[in-house]
Amino acid sequence: MFSPADIVTIPFGDWVNEFVRGFLVPNFRGFFQTIEVPVEFVMEWLNSFFNWVPMVVFTLVMALIAWRTAGKANAIFAIIALAFVDMIQLWGDTMTTLAMVLTAVVFCAIVGVPVGILAAGSDRFLKVIRPILDIMQTIPSFVYLVPIVMLFGVGSVPGVIATIIFALPPIIRLTNLGIRQVPEDLVEAAESFGSTRWQKLIDVQLPLAMRTIMAGLNQTLMLALSMSVIAALIGAGGLGLVVNTGLGRLDVGRATAGGVGIVIIAIILDRITQGLAERKQVHTTSLWQTLRGFFQSSSSSAKEKQLAEKAG
């Protein structure tokens, strides 16, 4: 039966190999290793700090944060769950995984929020990055590992970088979506009263889009946790290494224990970030209330000017 391959074959794999091995690695490996420095610094600092803090102190702090953001039930769950992690002797691995995940989330936020803001302000820029985000979200995560190893080597830091690439798209997409969903009448009111582009962004758009942005941060966090097992294949430590070790030895108990540890951290962080999103929710004011606030500010400024003229 006829097929296009009978006429033309495309050596796509050879092209990719030539690009990565012949161009990217020899010319840009130093640049990529420079990028690795801040990631390594943050991850090593967090890992050292989390493993230095006593288990009881860390558990009480996490329970307090969960109580203040997500309620008493989640605080009690945090205490019981973290005590369980310690009793199955996975506390150190759990802290390493937490350090890796938080490092990835920090850099995803640093990169993703500004890129999302740029995408919300420019349809042309959005058209450029949308297919890139589609590729990042749909390509199998194992595909990241080969070029990551060639550019960065093996270890926890390359694992974090692979996690950043995998977990970055949601926060970009939802930052863009949140800003675009801000009511146009509020934006136009801010513009009509002389707000600069920066003031409009900081005072109007970001506060109203904060709940959607926090939802993006939550999704990024969950993706980073799901990537921890795959990142262990290139030398990353933590609970992902526990799962892979159990898998390699057909040790169901150890693999299950590592998986349960990841689930516990995921639930605690998910509840905390959802609670923060609810607390940061800004109630959208009406156009009349917004205009009234502008007029009050203008009238108070005029009164101050009159008093200053009288004093002069």
Q: What is the DSSP string of 260-283?
A: HHHHHHHHHHHHHHHHHHHHTPPP
Tell me the pTM. Answer: 0.81
- Residue 308 CA to residue 312 CA, distance in Å, equals 6
In-domain check, residue 5: no
The span from the CA of 178 to the CA of 60, in Å, is: 34
pLDDT of residue 13: 78
- Identify the pLDDT of residue 20: 80
Residue 280 · residue 178 · CB < 8 Å: no
CATH number for position 239:
1.10.3720.10
pLDDT of the residue at 114: 93
Tokens of 87: 């009793």
Asked if residue 129 lies in contact with residue 172, where contact means CB atoms within 8 angstroms, the answer is yes
pLDDT of residue 304: 52
Instruction: Flag whether 305 is in a domain.
Output: no
Quote the pLDDT of residue 86: 92
Alpha carbons 231 and 238: distance in angstroms, whole number? 10
State residue 176's pLDDT score: 92
CA distance 238 to 157: 12
> Per the domain annotation, does 11 fall within a domain?
no
Residue 305 burial (C-beta neighbours within 10 Å; 0-12, 13-18, 19+): exposed
Residue-level pLDDT, tens digit, the chain, 312 residues: 667 766 777 777 788 888 888 888 788 777 878 888 898 899 999 999 999 999 999 999 999 998 988 888 888 999 999 999 999 899 999 999 999 999 999 999 999 999 999 998 888 998 999 999 888 888 887 777 888 888 888 888 888 888 898 899 999 999 999 898 888 888 778 777 777 778 788 888 888 888 888 888 889 998 898 888 888 888 888 888 888 888 888 888 988 998 999 999 999 988 888 887 776 554 444 444 444 444 454 444 455 555 555 555
Instruction: Give the number of domains in the chain.
Output: 1
pLDDT on residue 174: 92
What pLDDT was estimated at residue 287? 41
- Note whether residue 73 is domain-resident: yes
Q: Let me know if residue 300 belongs to a domain.
A: no
Q: Is 7 a member of any domain? A: no
Helix (H, G, I), strand (E, B) or coil at 234: helix
Q: Using alpha carbons, select from 123, 208, 125, 217 the residue that is nearest to residue 170.
A: 217
Whether residue 20 lies inside any domain: the answer is no
pLDDT number for residue 52 = 93
Contact by Cβ (8 Å): 270, 220: no
Which residues span the domain enclosing 224? 30-293
pLDDT at 311: 53
Query: Residue 295: what pLDDT?
Result: 47
Ramachandran angles phi, psi of 7, nearest 5°: -100, -50
Task: Tell whether 141 is covered by a domain.
Answer: yes
